[in-house]
Amino acid sequence: MGAGGMLSETEGGSVTGDVAVRYAARLENGVKTYGEGDTAIHALNGATAEFERGRFTAIMGPSGSGKSTLLHCIAGLDTLTSGIAYIGEIDLSTLKDRDLTLLRRERIGFIFQSYNLIPSLSAEENILLPLSIGGKQPDEDWYGTILDTVGLRPRLTHRPSELSGGEQQRVAAARALVSQPEIIFADEPSGNLDSKASAELLGFMRHAVDEFGQTIVMVTHDPGTAAYADRIIFLEDGRIVDEMYDPTADSVLDRLKSLGG
Amino acid sequence: MLAISLKSLLAHKVRFLLTAVAIVLGVSLVAGTFIFTDTIDAQFDDLFEDIYSGIDVSVRADVGDFRAETEPFPGDVLDIVLAVEGVEIAEGGVTSLATGVLDKEGDPIGGRGPPTLGFSWAEVPSLTPMRIKEGAGRAPTGSQDIVLDANTVANAGFALGDTVTVVGLSGPEQFELVGIASFGDQDSLLGATIVLFDLEKARELFGYGDEYTGISVQAEAGVTAEELTERISLVLPAGVEAVTGETERNEQVAEINEALSFLSIGLLSFAGVSVFVGAFIIQNTFRIVVAQRIRELALLRAIGATGRQIRSMVIIEALVVGIVGSVLGVGFGFAMAFAIRGMMNAAGMGIPLGALVLLPRAVIAAMLVGMILTLLSSLLPARQASRISPVAAMREEAARTPRRSLHTRALAGSVITGLGVLLIGLGLFVDIGRSIAYVGAGAAIAFMGISVLAPLAASPLADFIGWPLPRLFGISGQLARENTKRQPRRTASTASALMVGVALVVFFAVFGSSTKASINETIFELFPADLTFSSTSQTDPELRAPISPAFAERLGVYDELSVVSAMQFGRVVIEGETQIIGAFDPETIEQVIVLDAIGDAVAAVAARDSVIVSASFLEESGWAVGDTVTAEFAHTGEVALTIVGTYEHGDFGKLFLSSDTYLANFRYMGDSFVFVNAADGVSVLAAQDAISPTVETFGNIKAQTKSEIVEDAEGQIDQALALFTGLLLFAVMIAVLGITNTLTLSIYERTREIGLLRAVGMVRRQVRRMIRWEAVIIATFGAMLGVGIGIILGWAVVRALADEGFGAFRVPVGQVILALVLAAFSGVLAAVWPARKASRMNILDAISNE
């Protein structure tokens, strides 16, 4: 559809093409302003970031630093005031609502903090939601692999209200994976979970990156959670101020302290 | 608390608006009915005040309980009146209800609508409401002159100088239109056709001799109307009375008011249905709103508000919405009054136009209805709100209010429904009087009971109605179905409102088609007559206008006919009650209609001063064959009638005399029906052809075969059905608005969910489709319940009326299916706005963590 068409129109071998092969998503000079004049708030203030394919990236920063806004804008949930967000080679600002929606459906997965399942659908129906919205059947092998990884087989017929918080988030994670998206965005995915459920979920996400080559971008404020990522970018006042590779909880904590100081 | 209530209302304008609209619609039909009737009331008061102001005393025949306007008294009474001291001027005139006017095509004017009134022209302007319009000819002076009211002239396309055919007692006659008259300054008197002749011609045409039906008197200066009335009364002969002009005016106004009050009761009944449906919507809205505000209310509780304060807060909010809604409802009532007037005039009622009148009672009634409606509707939700525990504020998930257990619900619902059914049964099958009130109240209670039970059926029925949706529309269809099952009470409550409207529409349809089927059977069974003649004019709602006596006489000469038998009707007072009594020729009547007389009752009634009574009326009155009853006739006074027999088929009438007895006691104005049979070997068609020249000269007579009678009756029923359905559509509209209401509130609740669906790839069209099908399921659910109840109610009523000739029970399958389909489609309309709203919902709201 719209998204696929654009891929073929880009010049193969050009800089854009190469960049698109390497990065699943990019943000160039992203600015997001709420309000006008003196009361204007710049949630993003010229942020530039790239997210490599097959990598697990965490976005950190204090409250109000713009990390959720950044996530929403790259994921096509919100629009930038200026600057360009790309998913693969596609400039999101050129898409109308319908194409943007189809792009999210086919190429992006989401895991949100909470309330992120449809209460009237069973666990299985929730997992398959992006496919059924598009009227598609799941790839049986892939679906089986996901179910085994998240360990939800016995709970498939249950409604979300009958599942624990950890199980609900694993359903959400399975849903994000089922359509084999180019990139998964997660916003504080373990924010409402206890430490055990949290470790399970993050372990599963790590597994998806390592074993399936999935690309994941996650917003978090917790150093322990961020330590699951390959790379962390730090945001402050709507700008990328720092980054860090192969973090551990301690190194993240140190970096945060130095930033905060 | 008041301050918090007001702020809360202002903060949630949509919620406020949705509730208010339901109230506005509920109230406006009530207000509209009052405004409409008050306006007519005031117009007629003014009219009669003006036009009769010159008449101080009216002299008329004293005929007890009868209407005296067409009963004559001797002409010399005028001389007696003129001789009374204090009489300034007096003039006599005659009135008739037995005249028909033909239009240019030779068809009767008026038809089944308002009556034709014939008057003699009064020479003294102060003694008559009739005026020749400016520049529109002159008063009638010769035997060829006729004057018509301006409305009739305009509608029939007459012009001054045109030839106008009038059918009087002696058959059709031609006149020249010499003047166009108004009634006071009104071109029309409730749409009646008014014909005026000079006195001499009027007497001849109406069948009076040297007689008057009324004398109008003006008093000399200084003599009061009361004084003069007394003086005149003293000198009047027996059988003639004098009343003040004011008395007569009040009687006429009262008569019109009575006719209007019938209309306003009818309209108010339908307004009541709308209010009832509105109550469902309003209560449902309040309940959803309370559920959505649990956190806010719990927070208030947590910081120290008592349950009672919460309750009064909700009630105060309801009252504020009620006041605003009622005020707007009164305003909107003007539009309703216009609409009602338009509808009535479209039906040929000739209701005068002019500014609408708003009397305090309309405002008070509408405000009371609106306030009570809102107040009652808010009580349960308010109680629910007061029971919210303060802890609910802290919980992540909005706490569910405790629900009644299914058993309790099933029990309560069954008890309430049972009570309603009991009342309906009492009204229908037990003779306790005021049966309509019982049936109405019973139906209302049964509706409430069923709405209590409905949530139990919501899930299975939603599954049933929605089964093809997932296959047809994938996930949107599945979600639509699942969403209706999530809050069974909300779905059921919303559907119940539509159920009421649809149930009544279906009830009328079933009742109507059963009536048609019964009429069909009855007519073919009861009418051996090949052709039935009746007048096309209608002067009296209870009595058919008479056909000129000359008609039956002229038919008598045709060899193609074997039998010509006439039937007359009139009013009589027996044991204090006015009854319609019929009369026929005992020798021929049984060849043309079936009375199922017991023994030789028909032959026996040939004896003078005897009467036969239908079996059911005989039983009802506690009489027996052989008894003598005293009947009071307008013309001859009290006459002792002997009951000489009885008969089974009461469809034509419950009392019959012989035509001879009739002629002796009534002023014979003509026949109500003339029945004929074709002679042996002559087809009905041939006979009809042969007599058609005679029928045509009379103009206002229609000949009907049996099937035409059936068609005619069916046409009348269809017309009534269309009117009822039209009035019920308003209640249906309110119910559809209720679906919009519920959906709008529901999508607010589901903001997160809808946002999530959008985030993971649902396009706007799919969101709209999801909401739309949810509405269709709710609407179909309500319509199915309604269809079921309507059919059952129809069946019960038809069964109850079995004694009155309702042999058939018919369900008009086509109409019922149409009602279902339209109701389902109304769901699509109801969903337009909420679906649009949902599809444009901000995705970020769904996923932000706040």
For range B752-775, the mean pLDDT: 90
Among residues B77, B84, B334, B341, the alpha carbon closest in space to that of B211 is found at: B77
What string of pLDDT tens digits covers the 261 residues of chain A? 334 334 433 344 445 567 777 889 999 999 998 888 778 888 898 899 999 999 999 999 888 888 888 999 999 888 899 999 999 889 998 998 889 989 998 899 999 887 688 888 899 999 999 998 888 888 898 899 888 888 888 889 999 889 988 899 889 999 998 988 999 999 888 888 888 889 989 998 999 999 889 999 999 989 999 999 999 999 988 899 999 999 888 888 888 888 764
Q: Do B847 and A175 touch (CB under 8 A)?
A: no
For chain A, the C-alpha Rg in angstroms (whole number) is 18
- What is the rounded CA–CA span in Å between residue B371 and residue B356? 24
Q: Is B644 in contact with B610 (CB distance < 8 Å)?
A: yes
Q: Do B756 and A112 touch (CB under 8 A)?
A: yes
Q: What mean pLDDT value characterizes chain B?
A: 84
| DSSP state letters, B17-34 | HHHHHHHHHHHHHHHHHH
Question: What pLDDT shows up at residue B69?
Answer: 65
Number of A to B CB contacts under 8 A, please give it. 79
What is the distance, to the nearest Å, from the Cα of residue A90 to the centroid of all Cα atoms in its chain?
A: 17
Three-state SS letters, B614-661: EHHHHHHHCCCCCCEEEEEECCCEEEEEEEEEEECCCCCCCEEEEHHH
Among residues B438, B439, B804, the alpha carbon closest in space to that of B620 is found at: B804
Question: What pLDDT shows up at residue B78?
Answer: 92
Question: What pLDDT shows up at residue B850?
Answer: 44
| DSSP state letters, B562-624 | EEEEEEEEEEEEETTEEEEEEEE-TTTHHHH----BSTTHHHHTTSTTEEEEEHHHHHHHT--
**Bigger pLDDT: A2 vs B782:** B782
Q: What residue ranges define each of the domains in chain A, with the CATH number in brackets?
A: 2-260 (3.40.50.300)
Cβ-based neighbour number of residue B840 at 10 Å = 12
Question: What pLDDT shows up at residue B348?
Answer: 59
Question: What pLDDT shows up at residue B537?
Answer: 67
Say whether pLDDT at B255 is over 80: no
- A47 φ, ψ to 5°? -85, 135
Question: What pLDDT shows up at residue B238?
Answer: 82
Alpha helices by DSSP H, listed for chain A, are 2-9, 15-22, 67-74, 97-107, 123-127, 129-133, 140-150, 165-178, 195-212, 223-226, 249-260
> Residue B553, SS3?
helix
Say whether residue B717 is in contact with chain A using an 8 A CB cutoff.
no
> Residue A57, SS3?
strand
First to last CA, chain A: 49
How far is the CA of B311 from the CAs of B9, B17, B316, B456, B662, in angstroms?
15, 21, 9, 28, 71
Q: Domain residue spans in chain B?
A: 95-202, 457-529+705-850, 531-703
Q: Do B483 and A98 touch (CB under 8 A)?
A: no
β-bridge mates for residue B646, sequence order: B613
Confidence at B616, pLDDT banded by 50, 70, 90? confident
Say whether residue A129 is in contact with chain B using an 8 A CB cutoff.
yes
Tell me the pLDDT tens digit for each residue of B154-181.
Answer: 888 899 999 998 877 777 888 999 999 9
Say whether residue B753 is in contact with chain A using an 8 A CB cutoff.
yes
Cβ-based neighbour number of residue A9 at 10 Å = 7
Say whether residue A32 is in contact with chain B using an 8 A CB cutoff.
no
Residues whose CB falls within 8 Å of the CB of residue B768, separated by 6 or more in sequence, listed in order: B831, B835, B836, B838, B839
For range B739-751, the mean pLDDT: 86
For residue A175, which residues of chain B lie inside 8 Å, CB to CB?
760
Tell me the pLDDT tens digit for each residue of B541-583.
Answer: 667 777 888 888 888 888 888 999 999 988 888 887 888 899 9
Q: Do A188 and B759 touch (CB under 8 A)?
A: no
For range B40-54, the mean pLDDT: 75
Say whether pLDDT at B822 is over 90: yes
| DSSP state letters, A106-119 | HHEEEE-SSS-S-T
Q: Do A115 and B479 touch (CB under 8 A)?
A: no
Q: Which two tokens stand for residue A16?
A: 């854009």
For residue B764, which residues of chain A lie inside 8 Å, CB to CB?
97-98, 101
Q: Is B4 in contact with B313 (CB distance < 8 Å)?
A: yes
Question: What pLDDT shows up at residue B656?
Answer: 94
> Least CB-CB distance to A132: which of B474, B764, B848?
B474
Q: Which two tokens stand for residue A107?
A: 């190429």
> Residue B554, SS3?
helix
Q: Is B178 in contact with B146 (CB distance < 8 Å)?
A: yes
Mutate one of A32, A111, A118, A190 to test the B interface: name it (highest B CB count within 10 A). Answer: A118
Q: Is A51 in contact with A183 (CB distance < 8 Å)?
A: yes
- B732 φ, ψ to 5°? -65, -40
Question: What pLDDT shows up at residue B584?
Answer: 92
Say whether pLDDT at B65 is over 80: no
Question: What pLDDT shows up at residue B826?
Answer: 93
**Bigger pLDDT: B377 vs B656:** B656
Mutate one of B463, B751, B760 to test the A interface: name it (highest A CB count within 10 A). Answer: B760
Q: Do B763 and A118 touch (CB under 8 A)?
A: no
Residues whose CB falls within 8 Å of the CB of residue B331, separated by 6 or more in sequence, listed in order: none
Check residue B189 and give left, alpha or beta (phi > 0: left; psi -120 to 50: alpha).
Answer: beta
Question: What pLDDT shows up at residue B770?
Answer: 93
Q: Chain B residue with minimal CA distance to A104?
A: B761
For range B422-441, the mean pLDDT: 81
Q: Do B485 and A133 touch (CB under 8 A)?
A: no
- What is the rounded CA–CA span in Å between residue A82 and residue A163? 42
Question: What pLDDT shows up at residue A174?
Answer: 92
**Bigger pLDDT: B806 vs A92:** A92
Amino acid of residue B197: F
Tell me the pLDDT tens digit for each residue of B469-513.
Answer: 888 888 888 888 888 888 888 899 899 999 999 999 999 999 999
Q: Is B523 in contact with B710 (CB distance < 8 Å)?
A: yes
Say whether residue A112 is in contact with chain B using an 8 A CB cutoff.
yes
Among residues B710, B726, B714, B835, the alpha carbon closest in space to that of B774 is found at: B835
| DSSP state letters, B411-450 | HHHHHHHHHHHHHHHHHHHS--S-HHHHHHHHHHHHHHHH
The H or E element spanning position B786 is helix B764-800
**Bigger pLDDT: A146 vs B521:** A146
Say whether pLDDT at B111 is over 50: yes
Work out the percent of chain B whose per-residue pLDDT is above 90.
22
The alpha carbon of residue B385 is apart from the nearest alpha carbon of chain A, in Å, by 24
Confidence at B79, pLDDT banded by 50, 70, 90? very high
| DSSP state at residue B197 | E
Q: Do A101 and B479 touch (CB under 8 A)?
A: no
First to last CA, chain B: 27
Question: What pLDDT shows up at residue A2?
Answer: 38
Say whether residue A105 is in contact with chain B using an 8 A CB cutoff.
yes
Residues whose CB falls within 8 Å of the CB of residue B106, separated by 6 or more in sequence, listed in order: B165, B696, B699
The alpha carbon of residue B759 is apart from the nearest alpha carbon of chain A, in Å, by 7
Work out the percent of chain B whose per-residue pLDDT is above 70.
93
